[in-house]
Each structure stands twice: as C-alpha cells, then as structure tokens.
Copies of this chain bind each other. A is one copy, B any other.
Amino acid sequence: MKNAYTELAAHMKDIKLLGTAMSIIGWDMRTVMPSEGAAQRTEQLALLSKVAHDWMISDKTKSLLESVHELEDLNNVQLRNLELWQRDFDLSTKLPSEFVRKFEKQRRTTETLWIKARPKNDYKMVQPELQKLFELLQKKASYLDPLKHPYDVLIDLYEKNATQKDIDSYFGPLKTGIMDVMHKCLQSSVKPNPNILKIHANVEFQKRFSDLLWKLMGMSSDRSNLFEAAHPFTTGYAKDVRITTHYHEDDPIKANMFSLIHEAGHALYELNLPEEHWWTPVGSSISMGIHESQSRFPENILCKSREFLTYIYPHLQEILTGYKEIPLENFILAVNIVNPSLIRIYADEVTYSLHVILRYEIERDLFNDKTTITELPHVWNQKMRDILGIEVPDNKDGVLQDTHWYQGLHGYFPSYALGNIYDGNLLYAMEKEVPNWKEEIANGNLMPAMSWMKENVHRHGSMYDPIDLIEKVTGEKPNSKYFVQYLNEKFSKIYKF
C-alpha cells in the first residue's frame, strides 16, 4: 500500500518539473529573449500550463490522493505533503472550467485596459471592468470555500491560514507604531539628502560592485546566476535559482544594490529548502509573506544597517569613484531617509508598510461592503492624506499605481507587510541566539545572520503554515511590536529623537 504515496509523489514531481521548465522559459522571456519571440513564447507557456493543469485535475491525481488518504503509516512529513497536495488539487478542481475561462478573460481585459488607462490618468476608463472582475473574485471565493468570508479565502491563497482578524491585529499597532516613527523622523532636525546617491556610474563598474554583493550574500554561481531584467525578479527551484537586477546609470544604489540584495534574499530561501524533500510541498517555500520576510531581511535589516554600510562604503567608493567625495555619514543618512512618497515600490524602509496597510484597508472594506469600486480613487486619496500626509496629484500615481487589483490579485498585498512583521519577530529571536551578528556584519560577514535564517526558516520549507512557523521558531505568534521596536531603535539613532 505504501506504493501509493511514492506514486503520488512521482506524479506530483512531474507536475512540478513542468512548472520549473516554465520558470526557465519565463526567465528567458524576461531576460534574453529576442523581442519578436514573445508571441510563440506565450503559446509555449499556455500549452505547458494546460498540460500541468490537466495532470493536476486528472482522475489519476484524484484516485492517488484517495489511496494515500487510506494509508495508516504516514509520517508527519508525508501527512503534511498529502495535506498540501490535496489543497493544490482542490484549488485546481473546485473552480468550474467555464468559470476559470471567464475569470481569466476578465483579468486580461481589465489588465489590458489598465495599461491604457494609467498613462491617461483615467480611472473611469477601467472602472466598469474592474467592477466585473471584483464580482468574479467574490464568486471565485465562494467556489473555493462558501463557508468562509470571501476575503479570508483570497488571503489564504497567498498566506495560508492567515485571516483578516489576524492581519487586523498585526496591522493596527503596526500602523500606529510606524506613523509615530515617521512623524518623529519628519520632525527631526536631521535632513538627509537623498540626491547624493544619484551619481553617474557606468554599468560595467556597477556590475563589478554587483559581483561583490553577490559574494557577500553567499550566492553560488554553481546554482544561480545574475542577469538584467526591466523588473527584477527571482525564479527557479532546487539547484537552479536565478536572480535579476537592473542598472540605471544614474542610480546605482536603489536600482541595483538594494534590489540585488532583495532578490538574493528570495533566492537563498529557495536554495536552502530541505534537499531531502525537494519536489514535494514540504521541500517548497510556504508563502508570499515568509518569502518577503526573507528578501526584506537582508535588504533592510542587514544591509541598510550602519554596520554594513560602514563596512561596504570604502569598497563601493573604490569601484564607483563618484562617491569618493561623499562622507560616509551622508551616505548612511541618504540610504535611510524617511520620506513619505506617492509610490509604494520606491518607498523607504519605514513608510513602506503604510503603503501596504492602505491597500489592505481598502481591500478589506471592499469585501465588507464598506466601500465600492466607484469610490476607490476618493478613498485612496483620503487614506494617502490620513496615513502618509500626502496629496495625490493624479490617479496614475494613485489608485492606478499597482497592477495587482487590475489582475484580480486581491489578497496579495498584505504579504508585503507581513514580511516586515515576521522579520521583527525573527530578528528578536535571532539576537538572542546570534548576539554577535552586528559585529560580524561590521566585518562584512553576513553569514551568521543568514545561516540563522537558513536553519530556522528555510530548512522548514512548507512544513508549517506561516503564522505557525513564526511561532515555532520564535516562541511567539507574529507581533508587530518587534518590528516597530526595531524601527524605533534604528531610526531614533539616525534621526536623533
């Protein structure tokens, strides 16, 4: 009887192999593909994706799952795999194929319209289609689980077993805490000058600096590579996980340096998954929120620290000589400027979560009938004023800013800030076990901190749901107080409050 498990695992591995083949093809499309190749590439991906879906929803999957459920001697890992395979099967089979077609069509229509509407600042242009998409999303949620609140069903797609109730309990204090730090920074007499970061630096030299960061992050060229992409991303699995960066000749720090570190953080999570469980769910990453915690940890907590910046700056100046005249202190201030701004993806370490909370609150209110698609621009602008103290000049940089809603990805946004909250808990736990992590960083050694993450987060793969994982590792459920406390300690020194 034990054979049924092995057979199911082999079948599911085939599906995952197809997925990783698609990753490579998708990587190729976004990095090196000749532009005209796009149309045939889309056809290849659609075909592979159909094959993978057909395999997943097949009678074979169904009957193997049934057989494995009857086995009595499964160990904990096998039970967990079974649970997650069953979940994948359910997610793929609960939606009627007619509905999936309709939903995908509506997504494409809405996104295509958004691409046109954004440069025109014209929310009204896309509003009717967004309304339809929103209605289909509610339908999708009710197909997946008619007994749960629709927004909880959607959140669960990205952050397993997290609910509005959980998120409210994290984001409430997070919002208050961050707004407090932000206001203290803005009231401070310390005024960083972010423009000093913008020097002209040839791509060739920036690449040399990238090599240095690559090594410091502990990336291995045997299992990864670094290419350019317009929108940096990480993709791959097991022994082939790739990162990308972009080079702007006038912005080596934000565009390349911290983007590269962020993506390397994502990659290391994938590369450090437990090899003995590869190609099964337990050998895979668990959630968007945990993934984001692993990218934001080296990007912000490690590499924007005074210790790391002090270590790296002479090397940076050596390679990008344009920084030679700029004092270290000014550099540290500029990298850590707190500056409420319009665009989420350009936001600083402190205000970033506020952008996410704003989106979360709007999504939550939408799914609880407290606002409507029609009111979105108004609500957006009001919240930007209330939370970040910013006037939104136009919808282009307001409600039309991100692609997520126009692709029907409601429920995705919270994970960006959950990553920060998890980081707070993890940092607090790590400091107890690796008390010298900062001294090591001051010597350019990121490994003690990164290895702790490997042992405590990466190696668990999907064994635990995100919130349970944090509790298991840190002894406590996620609590935003730790992240707020970290921000207070760090920024009170920088901004002298």
Chain A contacts to B: CB under 8 angstroms: 14, 17-18, 20-21, 24-25, 28, 32-37, 39-41, 43-44, 47-48, 51, 220-225, 227, 237-240, 242
Contacts and interface: CB of A to CB of B under 8 A. Distances in A.
B240 A33 contact: yes
Given A28-B28, A39-B239, 19 more contacts: A14-B47, A17-B40, A17-B43, A18-B44, A20-B40, A21-B44, A21-B48, A25-B25, A32-B32, A33-B225, A34-B220, A34-B221, A34-B225, A34-B240, A36-B222, A36-B240, A40-B238, A40-B240, A41-B240
Number of copies: 2
Given A41-B240, A47-B14, A239-B40, A24 B28 contact: yes
A238 to B, nearest CB: 6
Contacts of A221: 34
Nearest to A221: B34
Contacts of A44: 17-18, 20-21, 24
17 contacts: A17-B44, A17-B47, A18-B44, A20-B44, A21-B21, A21-B47, A21-B48, A24-B28, A28-B28, A32-B227, A33-B225, A34-B220, A34-B225, A36-B222, A36-B240, A40-B237, A40-B239
A33 to B, nearest CB: 7
A17 B21 CA distance: 13
Contacts of A238: 40
A222 to B, nearest CB: 5
Contacts of A48: 18, 21
B51 A223 contact: no
Contacts of A225: 32-34
A150 B374 CA distance: 75
Contacts of A242: 34
B227 A37 contact: no
A382 B53 CA distance: 59
A27 B24 CA distance: 11
Contact of A239 (B28, B34, B223): B34
Contacts of A240: 33-34, 36-37, 40-41
Nearest to A48: B21
Which 5 A-B residue pairs are closest in the complex by CB-CB distance? A37-B240, A36-B239, A21-B44, A36-B222, A36-B223
Nearest to A47: B17
A245 to B, nearest CB: 15
A26 to B, nearest CB: 10
Candidate in A17, A21, A25, A39 with the most chain B CB atoms within 10 angstroms: A21
A446 to B, nearest CB: 21
A36 B220 CA distance: 10
Contacts of A239: 34, 36-37, 39-40
A444 to B, nearest CB: 24
Nearest to A55: B51
A48 B30 CA distance: 22
A227 B21 CA distance: 20
Contacts of A17: 40, 43-44, 47
A204 to B, nearest CB: 10
Contacts of A33: 225, 240
A170 B49 CA distance: 49
B36 A18 contact: no
A47 B224 CA distance: 23
A34 B270 CA distance: 15
Contacts of A220: 34, 36
A242 B222 CA distance: 24
A372 to B, nearest CB: 43
A223 B47 contact: no
Given A17-B44, A40-B238, A47-B14, A34 B224 contact: yes
A133 to B, nearest CB: 29
Interface centre among A40, A221, A227 (most CB of B within 10 A): A40
A239 B223 CA distance: 30
A273 to B, nearest CB: 13
A221 to B, nearest CB: 6
A222 B35 contact: yes
Given A36-B222, A222-B36, A240-B33, A47 B25 contact: no
Contacts of A224: 34
Contacts of A28: 24, 28
Contacts of A36: 220, 222-223, 239-240
